A = this chain, B = another copy of it.
Amino acid sequence: MSKTKTYKLSKDNVKPFNNKADYCIGTGRMGLALQQEYMKQLALVQKEIGFSYIRGHGLFADDIGIYQEYTDENGNKIAEYNFTYLDRIMDGYLELGIRPFLELGFMPAKMASGTQTVFYWRGNVTPPSSYEAWDQMVRATLEHLIERYGREEVLTWPIEVWNEPNLPGFWQKADMKEYFRLFEESFRTIKAVDSDFNVGGPAICGVEDEKWIREFLGFCRDKELKIDFVSRHHYVSELPEVDGHYAYVKLHGPDSCLETLENTRSIVDSFDEYKELGIHITEFNTSYVPNAPVHDTNYNAAYISLLLSRMGDMNESYSYWTFGDVFEEFGVPFTPFHGGFGLVANQCIPKPTFWTFKFFKNLQGDCLHRESDSIVVVDQNGKYIGVAWNLSDDERELDFAIPETDGRFCLIRKTVDEVTCNPLKTWHDLGEPRHLNQAQLDHLLASSSPLFESETISADSTGINISLSMRANAVIYFELMPAELSSDRGYSYERVKTDR
């Protein structure tokens, strides 16, 4: 039996809602942007959702190959820079209407002080053997980008220094002092190229995060580094349990899912110099491993709905990790549905969470309602736009009392739940094939669209009631828009329906 909740909306009661669902999106290492399948998935995401920025690792990784050395006639090592692939990648992004949110890292093998690497693709995570070489590479890269794309354009690209230096897997020994040095060197180099660049850090994740934020801001303050933003990551899962190629995770309860973000906000605001400074969550998702099947589920879509409704409260942006499943951190995936981070599975199959983003993108207008299970805005044309989600395993019913007492309206609804839009289940029903033939792919594409429904509603003095029946893990999008009937001469829909 389903429980019913009723929400009464009023146009006099506008709520705060900072919607940055479409600001930034994550990507597997940037070198993968050379791939065709990657670009197809990104093109789909940009066409249907449209993000402003994209952020990923590996700008200085060896597969892009920016940093090169040769030995001159005197036996000296001389640096030279190769921007062939960098340009190809950036050209590709800009053609799709998305800009890079630059992350400086990891270390080119030839410049590295050590051999520690991370991931299947072996990103070197040791400090530079020479900070001068690092600074020169950063400068050369930025100057090249400005030359190619223009100063005005490139200055809109934020710059973050390194990734998750608080984790020893991503920065040798998680050496805080060394990271601060890297940050300061990078910061001063970037600002010397152009002081209008927006630069921030420390891009930390999880472990000892409060300490890192506090010390980082203290360091910047002491060094008089006028940073432009603070950045961190946000995942809401416990340690994964691994079986074969896959990782199973428990997620934090929804009630506590924002605590760390609130703490970070408080810490930043506790510094006079950095009060109200913008915080970019440069990665977030439920689980932080790319083989967690939860990413492919309707549950994930519902959970992310909750996060999208809230994360703007304390952050300037929040970047879902990642747009697609061309991603190699743990190696090449064995199957189409392998628990990758992507909004889109390989072969361009939208996962349920894809729709969460598409729905939130549309939430443009004055927010009249925001609760733990739903949000509604009204735009300047009088259209109500809402998203509701059901994080529980039970059916729920949500009713919205809409303050319209006159006129004809059209209500449209799009339902993403385990019955109506669940490609993972269809893939399972098909036998979990590792390699899709065309018929299987067609079925999966057919199973990955929301159910669309429409109805006519005539408002009367009691107002309009929108009632949503929500199955477990459902995400439902709706629009209620004025729709006066303008029938053409002689057209009668009633007669069409009955007169046969």
Contacts and interface: CB of A to CB of B under 8 A. Distances in A.
Nearest to A449: B449
Contacts of A371: none
A35 interface: yes
A209 to B, nearest CB: 24
A246 B410 contact: no
A1 interface: no
Given A248-B499, A500-B294, A428 B484 contact: no
Contact of A452 (B38, B85, B447): B447
Contact of A451 (B294, B420, B486): B420
B35 A251 contact: no
A336 B57 CA distance: 26
Main secondary structure of the interface of A (DSSP, over half): mixed
Interface residues of A, number: 87
Contact of A243 (B148, B332, B490): B490
Given A426-B454, A429-B456, A338 B496 contact: no
A488 B430 contact: no
A346 B483 CA distance: 21
Interface string A420-463: 10001110111111110100000100110111111110000000
A486 B431 CA distance: 6
Nearest to A435: B87
A343 to B, nearest CB: 18
11 contacts: A36-B39, A84-B434, A244-B491, A245-B491, A294-B496, A296-B496, A297-B497, A338-B488, A338-B491, A431-B485, A432-B493
Given A84-B346, A250-B499, A443-B454, 17 more contacts: A36-B36, A64-B332, A82-B332, A244-B489, A244-B490, A245-B489, A245-B491, A246-B488, A246-B490, A248-B496, A293-B491, A293-B496, A412-B429, A412-B443, A419-B453, A431-B485, A447-B452
